[in-house]
Amino acid sequence: MHVTVPTDHDIYLFHEGSLFQSYRMLGAHLESVGKETGVRFSVWAPQAKQVAVAGNFNNWDASGHLMNKIDNSDIWTLFIPNVKEGELYKYEITTLHGQTILKSDPYAFYSEVRPKTASIVYNLWNYEWADQKWRNKKKRSNVYAEPMLIYEVHLGTWKTREDGKLYTYRELADELIDYVIEMGYTHIELMPLMEHPFDRSWGYQITGYFSVTSRFGTPGDLMHFIDRCHQKGIGVIMDWVPAHFCKDAHGLGKFDGTPVFEPTDPFKAERINWGTYNFDYSKPEVVSFLISNAMFWFDVFHIDGLRVDAVSQMIFHHHDNHSHTGHSEYENKDAVLFIKKMNKAIFETFPDALMIAEESTDYPLVSAPVHDGGLGFNFKWNMGWMNDMLRYMELPTENRKHHHNLLTFSFFYAFSENYILPFSHDEVVHGKKSLLNKMPGDYWQKFANLRLLYGYFMSHPGKKLLFMGGEFGQFDEWKDLTELDWLLLDFEMHKTMHKYVQALNTFYKDTRSLWRLDHDPAGFEWIDPHNHNQSVITFMRKGKRKGDYEIIVCNFSTEVYYDYRIGVPSYGKYIELFNSDRKDFGGSGQLNEGDLHAMPREYHNMPYSLMIKIPPLAVSVISKKTKSTVERRAKYA
Q: Which residues pair with 427 in a beta bridge?
A: none
CA distance 268 to 318: 9
Annotated catalytic residue: which of 358, 417, 518, 550? 358
Burial class for 206, CB neighbours closer than 10 Å (0-12, 13-18, 19+)? buried
CA distance 32 to 39: 8
Judge whether 270 counts as a catalytic residue. Answer: no
Contact residues for 596 (Cβ-Cβ < 8 A; gap 6+) = 573, 574, 575, 576, 610, 611, 612, 622
Q: Which residues pair with 239 in a beta bridge?
A: 307
Annotated catalytic residue: which of 309, 471, 483, 576? 309
Report whether 551 contacts 563 (CB < 8 A).
no
Residue 51, helix vs strand vs coil: strand
Report whether 189 contacts 381 (CB < 8 A).
no
Report whether 75 contacts 42 (CB < 8 A).
yes
Report whether 141 contacts 245 (CB < 8 A).
no
Burial class for 426, CB neighbours closer than 10 Å (0-12, 13-18, 19+)? middle
Residue 530, helix vs strand vs coil: coil
First to last CA, the chain: 56
Q: Of 490, 506, 486, whose CA–CA distance to 577 is shortest? A: 506
CA distance 514 to 421: 13
Dihedral sign from CA coordinates of 294, 295, 297, 303: positive
CA distance 385 to 438: 16
Residue 607, helix vs strand vs coil: coil
Judge whether 309 counts as a catalytic residue. Answer: yes
CA dist list (Å): 166 to 13, 155, 157, 485: 41, 8, 8, 16
Q: What is the CA radius of gyration of the chain?
A: 27
DSSP E strands in 345-437: the ranges are 354-357, 379-381, 419-423
CA-CA-CA-CA dihedral for 121, 125, 131, 135, to nearest 10: 110
Measured from the Cβ of residue 173, the count of other Cβ atoms closer than 10 Å reads 21
Report whether 618 contacts 448 (CB < 8 A).
yes
DSSP E strands in 232-335: the ranges are 235-240, 244-245, 270-271, 276-278, 305-308
Report whether 618 contacts 452 (CB < 8 A).
yes
Amino acid at 301: F
Q: Of 473, 463, 416, 497, whose CA–CA distance to 235 is shortest? A: 463
Q: Of 560, 558, 521, whose CA–CA distance to 539 is shortest? A: 521
- Residues tagged active-site: 309, 358
